[in-house]
Structure 1
Amino acid sequence: MVEENTTPTSTTKHDFFETQAVLDLKRWFQAIISSHKTLFTLLWLAAFTSAFLWQRDAVSGLVVMHGGGESLKKSESSLLYPKLRPVGFSLVDFGGVGDGVTMNTKAFERAVSEISKLGEKGGGQLNVPPGRWLTAPFNLTSHITLFLHQDAVILGVQDEKYWPLVPALPSYGYGREHPGPRYTSLIHGQNLTDVVITGHNGTINGQGQTWWTKYLQKVLNHTRGPLVQILWSSDILITNITLRDSPFWTLHPYDCKNVTIKNLTILAPVYRAPNTDGIDPDSCEDMLIENCYISVGDDAIAIKSGWDQYGIAYGKPSKNIVIRNLVVRSNVSAGISIGSEMSGGVSNVTVENILVWKSRRAIRIKTAPGRGGFVRQISYKNLTFENCRVGIVVKTDYNQHPDAGYDPKALPLLEDISFTGVRGQAVRVPVRIQGSQDIPVRNVTFKDMFVGLISKRVKKKKHIFQCAFVRGQVIGTIFPAPCENFDQYNEQGQLVKHAVSWNVTDIDYQI
């Protein structure tokens, strides 16, 4: 028997964060209604509302993406619908007890083992009924559907002695926080195909409070484990569930193909819940992320592909990824990030219909000398920033390295990045693109942008584009005015003004 290690204090903190988030959202809605914004904002209200209606969506299948810069295609030939499993089980059938105290690891393991025998018959579904199902980490199998009832909560045991150690990922060569092995994830799968995690908005709760405290106190000897991690797998669907309070990154697909993630709620406290990224696609190909609400203690989404020399050697880019229709918040880091571990490369990514609210940064690309790799063919469309310190950031000196073995001459390539349809209010710095002489940022395009400043604390003269070693173009009129690094074209595509410089204009880290 293992008792839960939660306290009234931690519960009160979570209630505070959630209550504060609700109040902030209510104030945001009132501001929108009172200001009579444009049709674009009204459309965003509809998108915002739909992000919370995840329970209405049926399991809709896995999606394959095609082509270089093309958007996601949903032809019938590209849709793979999850099969109706011929056999279903309840966790109770294998001795599960949902009292929040009894350990259910063996029950999960027995159920997964039984389903693993049914692959040739189409697999099986494991139903997790109402209750609080305490467990240590367990593995999934191919051709499985893990289905959570709306009142089902899978709870991760808090004592690290129940979390096995596994080797560092090959494209990292390092646990990430410590050298050597790392703790496994609560729900783990590798070398699998046809895996579905779904339900009626049931919850997987990592109970990460103990892990965060130990990390901040520097008493852990190994890297914390993610909440859900799927490695070297294909045909993955994760939908209609809540993920919360992960010890580390929340959802980490690694070197996977054909992954659909939709209708998720991902939560962690926005302060003192370190590295609780929401979704981290890592060396993944053909992925759709849509209709999610994410509020966490680090990046809401961070696209990755390995770290320095290890990522370069592994050589698996993240590519063909569509991220759309999300509401995200990150007080510590950024709403949507690429990097900083991007040494295998990131390409052909579309990010569209995104609301980032009350965040430190909205959109960020981060890299450094030693990373190598590339970030290219990245398209951002229909972005809304609400109360963000910085709107768009490109940073080329994010100098965290696994060890001294990286090559400082391995320089990343950043090019072909576009922003179309950007709206914002209460944003201190709309754009900060900090290239360098060694890592210039090439072919950046802005079109249809209006990002306003509503704050008496920041001087209007600081509400500007901040640029260094960047080259690109601006199409039509945007606000605020771009820096002089950009060629300017009118709406008809005619050149109006050549760029004056591509060196530093103004980088001010005090705002």
Structure 2
Amino acid sequence: MEPFRKINLKVLERTVVALLASTFLFSAAVECGRDAVGGGVAALESGCRAHRVSLTEFGGVGDGVTSNTEAFRAAVGHLEGASGGGLLYVPAGRWVTGPFNLTSHFTLFLDKDAVLLATTDFDEWPIIDPLPSYGRGRDLSGGRYSNLIMGSNLTDVIITGNNGTIDGQGKVWWDKFHSKELNSTRGYLLELMYSDHVLISNLTFVNSMAWNVHPVYCSNVIVSGITILAPTDSPNTDGINPDSCSGVRIEDCYIVSGDDCIAIKSGWDQYGIKVGLPSEHIVIRRLTCISPTSAVIALGSEMSGGIRNVRAEDITAINSESGVRIKTAIGRGNYVKDVYVRRMNLYTMKWVFWMTGNYGSHPDDMWDPKAIPEVKEIHYSDVVAENVTMAGKLEGIEGAPFKNICISNVTAQVVQSKKPIWNCTYVEGVTSSVSPTPCEALPDKGQACAFPDDRLPVEDVNFCGC
């Protein structure tokens, strides 16, 4: 009998990388490999990278102890500028790493049994500049700790896998945050800045230091099929936060967090007004959320670049504080407008609808008291809610009421409580077929709320095989 031949692990690993990579392509729905017409999202043959390497080729050790920061940096550096793009494969194992940057025309692919572990060695976390539209860190003034996975001014980037895991090991950060031992703002698991054509899919993010996924100043971003998990009492572990981004699609995601499951933002007070980049043309669909102390979908509170044209549908939430929450304040300026939400199923909520013009935290004392935000054209329809404390808490701004609010076809089962069923101040709008009966500021006019018939370009992007 012929003896077993010794397997060349590097050859086998390269074969696995090639097979996995060949199954992924991010391209326009018009036709794979062709641009979408009419200014749509360009086709990206991102899964078919010409160059594919494994982390182990650059000294990576997946033992859960060894730092792989330099291995990640070396691997990305090796693929930077590669003709035909590059894919970095992270095989099964527990890969400890500090912060590293991605590059353009690049795919980061995690094996189903790969766990990328954020290092708990604080010496590996440099302090970086605050975002221009915030002027300071969110936790504290000054700079902020680096994010784990980063990139700036990139195009054609994919972060994906066979549901591999990115673990922020956040408890050490949460403990230091609660005990006020940190001198700078916590970083995030994934932050891409000034980047175009980004896909984040088929991964699990757990125990982030703070926010999980943060595209900022980006365009044409798709987040699909990811899971985000954090203890519901963990501080500021927002799920997905598109920030001053245009053309975003979030779909088929499951989020359990200690803060908003999705928070759409666009900068903080005078800093956001100066940068002036709105979050716009955003689609959210088939989202499941658990967040007992925060919103399923929040708009703001940092919205000083403006938020417009947001469409959300087919939303399920269990044990969350509010379904949709609009958060703004005097000093924010700009607008939240043209928001359309339909088909929400909510179970155990404090508020079904919540909006406030008095969310008054400011980055410093230089904010403009004349910067009054405008909130208008907010449309909610086809909502069923059970075990609710209040149907709605709608609080606009004196002298600048929230206008053109429409709520239709809503049934909320309100539990017995000393709180009012509806609380409305400085709001104007209409309702239709809403139970329990809304406040006088929202009279029943018998008209269904609008939801746009047109499609946004980012909706017509499909995943295709090579």
Settle same-fold status: TM greater than 0.5. Answer: yes
Per the alignment, residue 238 of structure 1 pairs with: 200
Task: Mark the runs of 5 or more structure 2 residues left unpaired by the alignment.
Answer: 1-19, 30-35, 450-466
Deviations 1:97-150 (A, max 9, x none): 0000000011101100011030xx221110000000000100101111000000
Per the alignment, residue 154 of structure 1 pairs with: 116
SS, match of residue 489 in structure 1 = coil
Per the alignment, residue 290 of structure 1 pairs with: 251
CA distance in 2, matches of 1:388, 1:107: 46
Q: Output the amino acid matched with 2:370.
A: K
Per the alignment, residue 168 of structure 2 pairs with: 206
Q: Which stretches of structure 1, 4 residues or more, deviate above 3 A after TM superposition?
A: 73-79
SS, match of residue 435 in structure 2 = coil
Contact 1:62/1:236, CA 8 A, preserved across alignment: no
Per the alignment, residue 191 of structure 1 pairs with: 153
Deviation at residue 77 of structure 1 after TM alignment: 6.0
Contact 2:41/2:220, CA 8 A, preserved across alignment: no
- Pick closer, same or farther for the CA change 1:255–1:266 going to 2, 3 Å: same
CA distance in 2, matches of 1:276, 1:221: 19
CA distance in 1, matches of 2:99, 2:321: 33
- 2:324 matched to 1:363? yes
CA distance in 2, matches of 1:265, 1:132: 19
SS, match of residue 111 in structure 1 = helix
Deviations 1:240-270 (A, max 9, x none): 0001111011110000000000000001100
Deviation at residue 79 of structure 1 after TM alignment: 5.9
**Residues 110-149 of structure 1 aligned to structure 2 (within 5 Å):** 110-118=74-82, 121-149=83-111
The TM-score with structure 1 as length reference comes to 0.80
- 2:435 matched to 1:470? no
Relative CO higher for 1 or 2, CA cutoff 8 Å, sep ≥ 6?
2
Task: Mark the runs of 5 or more structure 1 residues left unpaired by the alignment.
Answer: 1-54, 65-72, 494-511
- Pick closer, same or farther for the CA change 1:81–1:101 going to 2, 3 Å: same
Per the alignment, residue 94 of structure 1 pairs with: 58
Per the alignment, residue 138 of structure 2 pairs with: 176
- 2:394 matched to 1:433? yes
**Residues 62-461 of structure 1 aligned to structure 2 (within 5 Å):** 78=41, 80-83=43-46, 84-118=48-82, 121-271=83-233, 273-453=234-414, 455-456=415-416, 458=417
- 2:452 matched to 1:490? no
SS, match of residue 434 in structure 2 = coil
More helix by share: 1
Q: Output the amino acid matched with 1:483.
A: C
Number of matched residues?
421
Q: Output the amino acid matched with 2:445.
A: Y
SS, match of residue 141 in structure 1 = coil
Contact 1:62/1:260, CA 8 A, preserved across alignment: no
CA distance in 2, matches of 1:242, 1:362: 23
Deviation at residue 74 of structure 1 after TM alignment: 11
Q: Output the amino acid matched with 1:319.
A: E
SS, match of residue 488 in structure 1 = coil
SS, match of residue 316 in structure 1 = coil
SS, match of residue 326 in structure 1 = strand
Contact 1:354/1:382, CA 8 A, preserved across alignment: yes
CA distance in 2, matches of 1:134, 1:450: 48
The TM-score with structure 2 as length reference comes to 0.87
1:61 to 7, 16, 26: 26
- Pick closer, same or farther for the CA change 1:480–1:336 going to 2, 3 Å: same
| Aligned-residue RMSD, C-alpha | 2.0
Deviation at residue 431 of structure 1 after TM alignment: 1.1
- Pick closer, same or farther for the CA change 1:74–1:473 going to 2, 3 Å: farther
